[in-house]
Amino acid sequence: RKEVEQDPGPFNVPEGATVAFNCTYSNSASQSFFWYRQDCRKEPKLLMSVYSSGNEDGRFTAQLNRASQYISLLIRDSKLSDSATYLCVVDGSSNTGKLIFGQGTTLQVKP
Amino acid sequence: SQTIHQWPATLVQPVGSPLSLECTVEGTSNPNLYWYRQAAGRGLQLLFYSVGIGQISSEVPQNLSASRPQDRQFILSSKKLLLSDSGFYLCAWGRQGAGLQFFGPGTRLTVL
């Protein structure tokens, strides 16, 4: 079983749609969770951290379910500029700061 | 503020040639440093990480090596490149004890 699993997609949605991505992780001891965004041929960039209580940043909402070991990202009112690959990221060993990256979910927002 | 630099941005090398990729971080001290590779259409694979000068941990056996000669400098090397070494090489830094990592712009390596 992969340490972090995501549906690779692609998710093709029209502008204005709401889309949700899920991710599961295997290490129940993980404490830190993130969503990164990666544009084509660019480096990953932090989109948002994921907190136990859930958190929102504009059109983006992240949720964490520790009991089921899954993380979600909801994007409302999709824009063309949201087209990218979204990486689910979970911490590994705390003293080294290692992160475990999912393979990513590709989103294509169409006009 | 902190910035991370990588060079070169792109590189085309023949099989069997040596490699040296450099990464430097500014605006922070004693960072954790990481080298990743991303093959075309694939996820990020952690190659090496370092928690201090001269300290290198290797994640996977391979044709590459890493060094950290200074606190904010991380170098990825190979003596003889293989075709399978082609990919997008990303350097990242993170604070000691914190989970977040920040990536450099990457080097796109093509081995012919």
pLDDT band at residue A93 using 50, 70 and 90 as cut-offs: low
For residue B32, the distance in angstroms to the closest alpha carbon of chain A comes to 7
What letter would DSSP give residue A82?
Answer: G
Q: Do A43 and B104 touch (CB under 8 A)?
A: yes
Mean residue pLDDT of chain B comes to 93
Q: pLDDT at position A92, please? A: 81
User: Would you say residue A105 has pLDDT above 90?
Assistant: yes
% chain A with pLDDT above 90: 81
Asked if A36 and A86 touch (Cβ cutoff 8 Å), the reply is yes
For residue A33, name the pLDDT band (cuts at 50, 70, 90). very high
Say yes or no for a CB contact (<8 Å) between A41 and B88: yes
Taking the Cβ of residue A14 and every Cβ of chain B, the question of whether any pair is shorter than 8 Å is answered with no
Determine whether A109 is exposed, middle or buried from the number of CB atoms within 10 Å of its CB (0-12, 13-18, 19+).
Answer: buried
- Residues 68-97 (A) with a CB less than 8 A from some CB of B: 87, 91, 94-97
Nearest chain B residue (CA) to A86? B43
pLDDT of res. A52: 86
Of the pLDDT bands very low, low, confident and very high (cuts 50, 70, 90), residue B74 is: very high
Binary contact (A44, B104; C-beta < 8 A): no
- Mean pLDDT, chain A, as a whole number? 93
Rounded to an integer, what distance in angstroms lies between the CA atom of residue A103 and that of residue A110? Answer: 23
Range B94-109 average pLDDT: 90
pLDDT at A22 over 80: yes
The pLDDT value recorded for residue A95 is: 64
What is the average per-residue pLDDT within B61-83? 94
Per the CB < 8 Å rule, is B99 touching A102? no
| Mean pLDDT for the stretch of residues A5-28 | 95
* A positions 41-70 inside 8 Å of B (CB): 41-46, 49
Task: Evaluate whether B50 touches B66 at the Cβ level (below 8 Å).
Answer: yes
Task: State the pLDDT confidence band at A94, using cuts at 50, 70 and 90.
Answer: low
Identity of residue A54: G
Average pLDDT over residues A14-41: 95
Q: How far out from the chain centre does Cα A102 lie?
A: 9
- Whether the per-residue pLDDT at A102 is higher than 90: the answer is yes
B contacts of A91 (beta carbons < 8 Å): 99
Give residue B96's pLDDT.
81
User: Rounded to whole angstroms, how far apart are CA atoms B22 and B7?
Assistant: 6
Which residues from chain A sit within 8 angstroms of residue B88, using beta carbons?
Answer: 41
